[in-house]
Structure formats: C-alpha cells, structure tokens
C-alpha cells in the first residue's frame, strides 16, 4: 500500500513539476506570460473544464467514460438560456438548479442505459453525444441565444467585478473541487466508486450497490456538465446550439488523464486532476502568446491524451512489477 | 444438519431443445436492419416517389461509400474484440495530405503512394498503442481521433484544398450503370466476406474476438493479426479519403466529421457484437445501404444535420441493445 501511495504522490509531483517547468520556459521566451493579465486568462479558462473534469474523474474511476459532457453542457446551457429568454423576470440564480438538474437527468439517462442493458459506456455516450446535440438544435430551432437575453447578474459572475478578489465562477469551481474531494475521499459512496472501478467483479460480491454507484457517478458528471453549461452562458454571454460545448469532451478527458486518472479505473485523485486542468490551461494560454495558431490546439489535445495514456500504462506496469517483486511474487 | 435426499433419476437437462429452424434463420440482429431496409424506402416513397428509383439510390450511395468502405474493415476490427474510432479522422488527414502534395506539384502516382503510406503509418500507430502498449482501444483511438484531425487542421487550416480537375468525378463514372464507388464497396464487401468466412485468417479473427487468451493458447498470433487489422484499416481510410476527394473536388480538415458515429452505427446495425466474436460483413453492407437511404430521406425532408445525428445517436443505442438482447437469448 505504501509503495502505491508514494507512487501516486510522485505522480502529482510530476504534473506540478511539469507546470512549473513549462511556465518558466514560456516565461523566459515571453515574459508577458507570467504577468497578472495572463494569469487572469488562465484563471478564466480553467473553471469550466475544472467543474466538468471533477465529474469525468469520478466516471473514469468507476471504469466508465462519459463522452457526452460537451453536448450535456450545450443542452443544459441552451435550456437555461431559453428559460431566461421566455421568462425574463425569473431571478438569475434559479438558472443554477435548472441547469444542474437538466444535466443530472441527461447523465442519469446515460447511466441507466449503461446499467440496464450492460453496454459499454463509451458507445452509449457516443450515441448520446449526438443525441443531446441534436436535441439542443431542435429545442433552440437552430438559433443562437444572444447576449441581451442572458441576465446581467449572471454575466457579472464571470466579469472581473471590482468587489471580488476572485470572479464568482472561480469560487464556484473551487467549491466544486472541495466538495468532490470530500465526496471521493470521505464519503461512503465515494469510496465505493473507487472499489467498483478497482475490481468491477469483486465489488458486487463485497456488497457494493453497483447500480446506485454507477447511476450516481453518471448523474454527478451530467449535473456538473450542466453547471458548467450555465457558467458558459455567464462567461461568454451567449449560447449557440452548434458551438457551445463542441469538442469540450476532449479537453475534459485530456485534463483528467493528464491528472493521472487511470482509464483502467480505480485510480485518480482530485489534486491530480486539478493540476492536470491547470497544466492544460497554461498550455492553451501560452499558445497564442508564442504565436502558434489556434488550429494547433486540437492536435495538441489529442497528443496530450495519447502521451498521458502511455505514461499511465508505463507507470501502471512498473507499479505492478514493483509490488510483485516487493512481495516476492513470481511473475 | 439435515441431508437433502439425493435423487437418483437424472432429468434430461443435458441438452436444451434445439431451436426451430425458422428462429435460427430469422432471429438475428441483422434482421432488424433488413426489416428497416424494406420498410424505410416504402415509407419514404409515400412522400417522395423518387426514393424507390434504383438509379437515385445508387447515385446517392456514392456519398456514403467512403465511410461504408471503412466500416467494412472496422467490422473485422470489432469482431477481433477491439475498436477503432479514428478512421474518419485519418481519412481527413490523408485526404488533406493527398490534395496538398498534389497542389505542391508532386506527380499523381507519388501522391497516391504518399497517401497510402501515411494511412498505413496512422494505422500502425494505432496498433502500436493498442497492441504493443496494451492501451484500451476505445480510449486510445479517441486520442488518435482528436490527434489526427488536429493534424489535418494544422495542415489545411480553415482553407479548402482543390484537387486537379481531371481527378474529380469518380462518382460520375459508371460501369454497367453502376457508379464506381458503389462497385468498389460491394467488391470489397465480397472479398472481405470471403476472407472472413472461408479463410483460416478469417476464422482466427472470430476466435480472437471470442476469447483472446484461448486463441493465444491455441497458437494464433493474436498480436500480429490485430496489428494487421489496424494497419489495414489505416490503408483503407487512405483509399476512402482519395475516393471522397475525387467526389467532392475539394477537401477541408472537417471531411467526414462525426464519421465515427456512422461507421460504428453501420457495424452495430449489421449485427456485429460490440464485445467481439460475432458479426458479418453482409450485415455491415446492408446497414450502410440503410443509412444511405435514410440520410437521403432526411435530406429530402430538409432536416438539419444535427437533427439527423440525433436520430443516428438513438439508432446506435437501440441497435446495440437489440443486438445484445438477441445474442444473449440465442446460444453462444
């Protein structure tokens, strides 16, 4: 157990070192990268991915995957924006329970399909990725919801309001991180998520409610994607049926696997994912400064996913080897 | 502790009653596709009489042909128990390279070689990740899906690249009244169906998908076969890319965007078992025709592309559920 723990510890240190080295190198080339302005760019980039990454982390730890987060984000954002458009007098904070609720329902549908029909989550969520995107189009009539319909106080939450040291969306993201930390490490259900992912065969034999755990992680992932959806409306001030959340799932999965969450389930920590998201934020903030065109971003996300997967597999093989030799197990 | 009375008479439980022949023939996942393939054009023909016109069906299938070609090989990969979500992206990348090197003045035969070589390399890279690094193919090919399309975007930017005039219009060339892309797909299907059902190699693919460990113990070179399948898919995606470019005349990085959904859908609708070991080429071919006809009907009804994807998404989930249900009810 000790060996495994120190392994994990080293893992997060690795990401931290990568962030620092990256920032120093970019800082030397372009000193502007380390300026406060740029810090704010990173700070505004991070929250949406951070929130969705927390949910994705839980899903991956349970040895599933949720490809539909981007479309869930889009659908929840669209429904909330439509509500504001049709009922302008609704107080803006009511948008939060609506967005989270819609997201959670979509996530619940994913989980239910996976559990009831025993299907691989990746195929189900590939289907719902397009299904939810299509529903967003149908619900909106393929029309964008423009700036004037998004309530002012909501947009102010991600503006640099002078009253607050941090914009609200950063504070919300931090709260989500802390809650996830508590859930993953100190709640019974959270520990059961790890148990399920470590050994899906043994988990039900140990009395772990597999159905409940699976439905919970998918609902959380959907709910958090919904929360990210309303914050998207707050951050950008519009909701577009085709742009909003398109390709978001790749960013989220990239961040989570950089953060050291194993796609084989059972392994992953909140701290690692937080660092993974920050690293991704630093990279995407550095690209325009270094004069690299935005078209490269998608290739970088893909490369980052592959590299992180390869690292994960190597670490895992080494860890297994280290454990077996330490116990004198013949391989 | 009481002992149960041990019954000495053995009830004939040993063999389940054989299923009636009509069930063996008719209760197959692919029958859903066959039924849809019959019903769909009939329904559509009520609204648009031309949907039953054979010439119309043949000529519109050319747009589905590149994806169908890749889906046929993808079927082999899925039967072998793996999956590859990246071919649509490798198609876009190879097609972009194909058009770009020609625009840069490289002669046509060399461009073809470069394109196929690149496709092979992309396929081998997938194989390297999945077979040699033992990454789960679902996630690994999601990485390459993003990466390959990203590379295409780096190469082409937002611009469209044109191919030479004389190279355009493969879909307009007909042999015996059948457009060439359709012929290519059907020929490929026949070859692959023979490969899968009548050669040792083909039977070994099924064995790997059914039980990889047992297959390895039986002396099947599982890694070599899987590598070959991924490499073949890479090459075929390059061929599909060249075919598509000829039909469209230009290529952008978003060629075949979302094609992975349609390809997986073709395989699933064709009755390929998502966990490997079962499936047929004929099923995928029929499903490809079904999708082509459906897409036409939806286009004629002027549905938005996103709405069409919505229906395809539902169809994907439903088809896996039905396939799994039927396979779990029939004997293994």
Q: What is the pLDDT of residue A69?
A: 92
Q: What is the pLDDT of residue A60?
A: 92
Q: What is the pLDDT of residue B265?
A: 87
Q: Which of B138, B158, B313 sits opposite A131 (nearest CB)?
A: B313
- Average pLDDT of B160-173? 76
pLDDT above 70 (res B5):
no
Alpha helix ranges (H) inside chain B: 21-26, 29-47, 54-79, 87-103, 108-127, 137-156, 180-198, 200-210, 212-217, 222-248, 259-269, 281-300, 305-329
Contacts of A21 (CB under 8 A, 6+ apart): none
pLDDT above 60 (res B8):
no
Q: Does B301 touch chain A (CB under 8 A)?
A: no
Backbone angles phi, psi at A159, to 5 degrees: -75, 165
B198–chain A nearest CA distance, Å: 30
Which residue from A minimizes the CA distance to B253? A295
pLDDT above 90 (res B41):
no
- Express each pLDDT in B235-253 by its tens digit: 999 999 988 888 888 888 8
Q: Which of B135, B150, B314 sits opposite A302 (nearest CB)?
A: B150
Higher pLDDT residue, B208 or A284?
B208
Confidence of residue B10 (pLDDT cuts 50, 70, 90): low
Q: Residue B324 and residue B272: Cα distance in Å, rounded? A: 10
Q: Does B112 touch chain A (CB under 8 A)?
A: no
3-state SS class at A226:
helix
In terms of Cα–Cα distance, which of B45, B92, B35 is closest to B245? B92
Average pLDDT of the residues of chain B: 83
Q: Which residue of A302, A304, A320 is the best one to mutate when testing the B interface, meaning the one whose CB has the most B CBs within 10 A?
A: A302
Q: Does A127 touch chain B (CB under 8 A)?
A: yes
Q: Which of A142, A298, A313 sits opposite B150 (nearest CB)?
A: A298
Q: What is the pLDDT of residue A331?
A: 42
Q: What is the pLDDT of residue B53?
A: 74
Q: Does A122 touch chain B (CB under 8 A)?
A: yes
In terms of Cα–Cα distance, which of A236, A253, A289 is closest to A69? A253
Q: What is the pTM of this model?
A: 0.83
Confidence of residue B270 (pLDDT cuts 50, 70, 90): confident
Q: Does A309 touch chain B (CB under 8 A)?
A: yes
In terms of Cα–Cα distance, which of A28, A170, A51, A162 is closest to A100? A51
Q: Does B153 touch chain A (CB under 8 A)?
A: yes
- Express each pLDDT in B134-163 by its tens digit: 888 888 888 888 889 888 888 887 777 877
Ramachandran area for residue A291 (φ above 0: left; ψ -120 to 50: alpha; else beta): left
Residues lower than pLDDT 70 in chain A = 1-11, 160-165, 326-331
Q: Which of A130, A264, A306 sits opposite B313 (nearest CB)?
A: A130
Q: Which of B151, B274, B304 sits opposite A137 (nearest CB)?
A: B304
Judging by beta carbons within 10 Å of its beta carbon (0-12, 13-18, 19+), is residue A105 exposed, middle or buried? middle
Q: What is the pLDDT of residue B119?
A: 93
Q: Does B299 touch chain A (CB under 8 A)?
A: no
pLDDT above 60 (res B11):
no
Cβ <8 Å between B144 and A302: yes
Which of residues 30 through 89 in chain A touch B, CB cutoff 8 A? 65, 67
A138–chain B nearest CA distance, Å: 7
Q: Residue A223 and residue B77: Cα distance in Å, rounded? A: 35
pLDDT above 50 (res B1):
no
Q: Does A294 touch chain B (CB under 8 A)?
A: no
How large a percentage of chain A has pLDDT more than 90?
Answer: 27
Cβ <8 Å between B324 and A124: no
Q: Residue A248 and residue A67: Cα distance in Å, rounded? A: 9
Q: Which residues pair with A239 in a beta bridge?
A: A145
- Average pLDDT of B205-219? 87
């Amino acid at each position: 157990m000790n060996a495994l723990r120190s392994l994990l510890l080293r893992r997060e240190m690795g990401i931290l070192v990568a962030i620092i080295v990256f920032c120093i190198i970019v800082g030397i080339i372009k000193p502007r990268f380390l300026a406060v302005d740029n810090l704010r760019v990173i700070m505004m980039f991070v929250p949406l991915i951070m929130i969705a990454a927390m949910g994705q982390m839980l899903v991956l730890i349970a040895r599933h995957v949720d490809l539909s987060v981007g479309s869930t984000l889009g659908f929840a954002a669209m429904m909330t924006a439509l509500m504001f458009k049709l009922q302008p007098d609704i107080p803006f904070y009511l948008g939060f329970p609506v967005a989270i609720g819609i997201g959670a329902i979509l996530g619940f549908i994913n989980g239910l399909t996976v559990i009831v029909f025993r299907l691989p989550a990746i195929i189900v969520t590939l289907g719902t990725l397009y299904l939810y995107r299509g529903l967003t189009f149908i619900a909106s009539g393929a029309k964008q919801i423009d700036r004037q319909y998004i309530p002012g106080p909501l947009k102010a939450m991600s503006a640099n309001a002078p009253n607050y040291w941090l914009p609200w969306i950063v504070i919300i993201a931090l709260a989500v991180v802390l809650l996830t930390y508590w859930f993953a490490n100190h709640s019974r259900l959270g520990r059961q998520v790890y148990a399920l992912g470590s050994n899906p065969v043994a988990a039900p034999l140990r009395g772990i409610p597999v159905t409940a755990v699976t439905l919970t992680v998918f609902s959380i992932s959907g709910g958090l994607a919904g929360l990210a959806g309303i914050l998207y409306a707050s951050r950008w001030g519009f909701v577009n049926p085709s742009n909003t959340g398109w390709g978001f799932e790749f960013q989220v999965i990239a961040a989570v696997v950089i953060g050291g969450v194993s796609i084989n389930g059972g392994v992953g920590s909140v701290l690692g994912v937080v660092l993974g998201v920050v690293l991704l934020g630093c990279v995407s903030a550095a690209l325009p400064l270094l004069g690299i065109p935005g078209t490269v971003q998608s290739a970088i996300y893909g490369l980052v996913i592959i590299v992180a997967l390869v690292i994960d597999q190597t670490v895992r093989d080494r860890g297994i080897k280290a454990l077996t030799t330490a116990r004198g197990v013949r391989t | 502790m009481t002992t149960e009375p041990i019954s000495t008479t053995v009830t004939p439980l040993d063999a389940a009653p054989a299923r009636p022949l009509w069930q063996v023939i008719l209760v197959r996942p692919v029958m859903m596709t066959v039924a849809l393939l019959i019903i769909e054009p009939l329904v559509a023909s009520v609204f648009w009489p031309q949907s039953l016109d054979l010439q119309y069906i043949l000529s519109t299938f050319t747009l589905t042909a590149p994806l169908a070609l890749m889906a046929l090989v993808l079927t082999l990969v899925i039967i072998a128990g793996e999956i590859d979500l990246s071919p649509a992206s490798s198609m876009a990348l190879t097609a972009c390279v194909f058009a770009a090197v020609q625009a840069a003045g490289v002669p046509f035969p060399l461009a073809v070689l470069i394109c196929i070589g690149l496709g092979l390399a992309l396929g081998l890279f997938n194989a390297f990740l999945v077979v040699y690094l033992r990454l789960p193919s679902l996630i690994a090919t999601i990485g390459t899906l993003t990466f390959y399309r990203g590379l295409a975007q780096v190469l082409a930017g937002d611009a469209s690249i044109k191919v030479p005039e004389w190279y355009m219009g493969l879909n307009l060339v007909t042999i015996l009244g059948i457009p060439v892309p359709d012929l290519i797909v059907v020929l490929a299907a026949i070859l692959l169906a023979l490969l899968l059902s009548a050669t040792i190699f083909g039977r070994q693919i099924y064995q790997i998908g059914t039980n990889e460990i047992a297959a390895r113990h039986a002396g099947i070179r599982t890694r070599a076969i899987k590598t070959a399948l991924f490499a073949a898919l890479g090459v075929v995606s390059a061929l599909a890319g060249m075919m598509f470019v000829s039909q469209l005349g230009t290529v952008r990085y978003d060629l075949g965007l979302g094609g992975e959904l349609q390809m997986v859908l073709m395989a699933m609708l064709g009755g390929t078992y998502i966990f490997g070991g079962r499936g047929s080429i004929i099923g995928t071919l029929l499903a490809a025709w079904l999708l082509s006809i459906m897409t036409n009907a939806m286009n004629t009804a002027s549905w938005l592309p996103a709405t069409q994807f919505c229906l395809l998404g539902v169809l994907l989930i439903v088809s896996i559920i039905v396939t799994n249900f039927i396979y779990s009810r029939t004997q293994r």
